[in-house]
Amino acid sequence: MTHEVGNIVKGKVTGITNFGAFVEIEGGKRGMVHISEISRSYVEDISKVLSVGQAVECKILTIADDGKLGLSIKQAQPESEKPQQSKKREFNKRPQRKYTPAPKVTSPGDFEWQSSSVSGASFEDMMSKFKKTSEDKMSDLKRGESRGYSRRGNGSGRK
């Protein structure tokens, strides 16, 4: 019997490892079924699904130059025997979150970008307001350093 890729053949499980099962198919050839090709559902332990000596049907996926076969049990199952696929989470159909902007911070020295851009101010107006706010913040920091405070909070701002 000639073995070709795509053929479905009958075989018998001859060995089980943690990564797959070895199957001897008709004609005395041996192949391996990778753990991912055993079942359409997740297989954690192959010995819970297959046992040595069990008769299986396999589809030939690959034939290596040295004659080794790559087999699949799950692809050999007809459509009617395939287990129902569980509903996969549909990411595009989940409820969309409504964007709510963060509340404006009103602590001293905060610059409110949105209020300037909404009122239709020019770029130059926004830039001058930013510079003034920035200069105010810097002068506050310098005044704090002269009183013995530092940004590090260790009180070593005095010289």
Transcribe 29-96 into DSSP letters: -EEEEEGGGT-SS--S-GGGT--TT-EEEEEEEEE-TTS-EEEESGGGS-GGGSPPPPPPP-GGGSPP
- Specify the pLDDT at position 116: 45
DSSP run (H or E) holding 11 = strand 8-16
Nearest to 21 by CA among 9, 30, 11, 34: 34
- Specify the pLDDT at position 117: 46
Tokens 């991912």, located at residue: 36
- Specify the pLDDT at position 25: 86
- Specify the pLDDT at position 40: 84
pLDDT digits (tens, 9 = 90+) for 45-60: 888 888 899 999 888 8
- Specify the pLDDT at position 63: 86
What value, to the nearest 5°, has the Cα angle with vertex 49 and ends 4 and 61?
15
- Specify the pLDDT at position 112: 54
* Residue 138 pLDDT greater than 60, yes or no: yes
* Residue 70 pLDDT greater than 80, yes or no: yes
In whole numbers, what is the pLDDT of the chain averaged over residues? Answer: 76
* Residue 87 pLDDT greater than 70, yes or no: no
Q: Which domains does the chain have, with CATH numbers?
A: 8-77 (2.40.50.140), 104-159 (no CATH)
Q: 26: which 2 tokens?
A: 């008709």
Which of 29-33, 75-79, 148-152 is least confident?
148-152
In angstroms, rounded to a whole number, what is the distance separating the alpha carbons of residues 116 and 99?
A: 21
Q: Would you place residue 90 in the very low, low, confident or very high pLDDT band (cuts 50, 70, 90)?
A: low
